[in-house]
Homo-oligomer: A and B are copies of this chain.
Amino acid sequence: MSTPDGTVRKYCYAYPHPAVTADVVLFTLRESELQLLLIRRGGEPFAGSWALPGGFLEIDEDLERCAQRELEEETGIAGVYLEQLYTFGTPGRDPRERVISVAYYALAPSDGLVLRPASDAADVRWFPIGQLPPLAFDHAEIIRLAHQRLVAKLDYSTIAFQFLPETFTLSQLQAVYETLLDAELDKRNFRKWARALDQIEETGELRRRGSHRPARVYRLKNRERVDYLK
């Protein structure tokens, strides 16, 4: 059984099956802005458009594993915090065939990320969330929902810590919240709040950066976890 383009269609079912993909909205903070990673599509459909990293689920692969793999294959980034967002399946969202897309969102500290564009992605770039290019498929909607979820989770979880490296200062932490909330926060109140969370501990070190008093260095008590706040 084959098709006009010569592809062999050897996986057959009694009922039609949709394709399943995993797509990833990877956020980071760069240049005091919330940014996210897009790839420029090499092939049709939407060739030349920007899109979320993602791709088809392999038949024996876990969904989250697929999201991680596609992210790594297309951008070279691995080991970031990843959470399922929502599943998009409106008929017609992909012109080729029925595609169910399980969307994930991911958070990463900006430093130490090295982009390595893969062969099937013509280009990989960070975009500020306020200056996104036109996007393929329904990816603009996926990004909207991911951003909304991220902001909502700031209130009641430790998700924001995922933007920070292993050790950080309270000023860095405050800058993360200020960027994400797009608001200025009072330094004393912020520090009181941050310490009351019982989520961070001092490393004992001091960090010297520039000609001013050195900053105390903190670390998250349990990295690898996102906790709920009271």
* Copies assembled: 2
Secondary structure at chain A's binding surface: helix, strand, loop or mixed?
Answer: loop
Across the interface, A12 reaches (CB within 8 A) one of B11, B18, B62, B90, namely: B11
Chain B residues, CB < 8 A from A17: 11, 13, 17-20, 59
A14 touching B18 in the complex, CB below 8 Å, given contacts A59-B98, A86-B84, A87-B102: no
- On whether the beta carbons of A62 and B90 are closer than 8 Å, the reply is yes
- On whether the beta carbons of A100 and B98 are closer than 8 Å, the reply is no
- On whether the beta carbons of A89 and B102 are closer than 8 Å, the reply is yes
| A213: Cβ under 8 A from any B Cβ | no
| A197: Cβ under 8 A from any B Cβ | no
**CA of A102 to CA of B98, assembled, Å:** 15
| A39: Cβ under 8 A from any B Cβ | no
Within 8 A of B (CB), among A1-41: 1, 3, 7-20
